[in-house]
Amino acid sequence: MPTNFPEVWSDRFIQNLTEASVAPWLDGIPELSANVQVVNAGSITEKNVINVAATDFDVDVLINNTAYPIAVQAYDDETLTFNLDKYQTKVTSINDDDTLGASYDKIDVITKSHKRGILEAKYQKAIHSLAPATNTAATPVIVATGGPDGLKDGTRFRLAYEDLVASKEATKGFKGEKRLVLTETHFNDLLLDRKNFGDKLVNYNEGTTAPKIAGFKIYQYDGDMPIFTGALAKKAYGAILEAGDREASVIFTDTAVAKKTGITKQYFAPAATNPAGQTNDLAYRHYFLAVPFRAEKIAAVISGTYVAAP
């Protein structure tokens, strides 16, 4: 086994993790420029922490001004501290024969489950974090009605074009590019509405995967989406869908949220230290965060509950 095995595998894994794109709804969201501080490195309490100046400052623009001196507008700034979420894989034992050489194909085959697991977890946590905690004027939770025809699917109302218009109205104060990340069920609801959408959701001829409809850039995410109760409150991450709950589609603007990628660490124990099993043990740790700056300019859409008449 080459002496640089750990370094080569670690570099390749980080490259694959960075270049993977399974959450296009986060594309174009800038990484926070704050430096990552590693706290308690190497211990079970290790954290990646960032401190950022969260500025949501809109300057008043004067048109054809004739009044001087120009009024002073105070600069409002505050510092926010975030702990990045930590993602760890379980240990994989690799036969010593399989580590001979540093072929990228071999590395990718052996580490693909680690990469897939981290990506699925980090983006599911991200979309949960970007959903509002509850229904407020600044963070509306819109309830789908099925449109004027009250389109239904079982005990829920389907998402209809009119519900997108209602969501547009509820988020009319949101500045920036508004993105709507649909649950798979909501996306399928719109696919059924050929009258309003035709091939607008996915234009296979043009290759369009993120069309703009009713002012929203539309995305679909097949992972686990945030769960809301009938009282329009978001349940904790990892909660189970229960009677009366609904998975939510999520709305946010590109100017209201941020992301930050922290360190990625490889843990490696060589076969030379394991004479009985003669296997190399491999695991990864990765830090990532996606979060709104404030509880505003984020929203959710859930399907209303249909109760059949007795």
pLDDT at 123 over 90: yes
Return the structure tokens found at 60.
């008043």
Selection from 268, 267, 259 nearest residue 122 by Cα: 259
Domain coordinates in residue numbering, the chain: 5-130+260-288, 141-255+296-303
Instruction: Give per-residue pLDDT as tens, 19-58.
Output: 666 689 999 898 888 889 998 888 888 899 988 775 544 5
Give the three-state DSSP class for 212: strand
Instruction: Give per-residue pLDDT as tens, 178-226.
Output: 999 999 999 999 988 877 776 677 655 555 567 888 999 999 998 899 9
Instruction: Give per-residue pLDDT as tens, 75-91.
Output: 556 677 788 999 999 98
Give the three-state DSSP class for 39: strand
Q: In this predicted structure, what is the pLDDT of residue 242?
A: 92
pTM of the predicted structure, to 2 decimals: 0.83
Q: Mention every residue, 6+ apart, whose C-beta is less than 8 A from residue 120.
A: 22, 223
DSSP letter, residue 147: T
Q: Residue 143 forms beta bridges with which residues?
A: 302
* AA identity, residue 80: L
Selection from 238, 148, 142, 241 nearest residue 182 by Cα: 142
Q: With 0-12 CB in 10 A as exposed, 13-18 as middle and 19+ as buried, what is 5?
A: middle
Give the three-state DSSP class for 154: coil
Dihedral angle over CA of 99, 100, 106, 112, nearest 10: 10
* Contact yes or no for 80/55 (Cβ under 8 A): no
DSSP string spanning 231-288? TSBBPPTTPPP-TT-EE-EEEEETTTEEEEEEEEEEEEE-GGG-TTT-EEEEEEEEEE
- State percent of the chain over pLDDT 90: 39
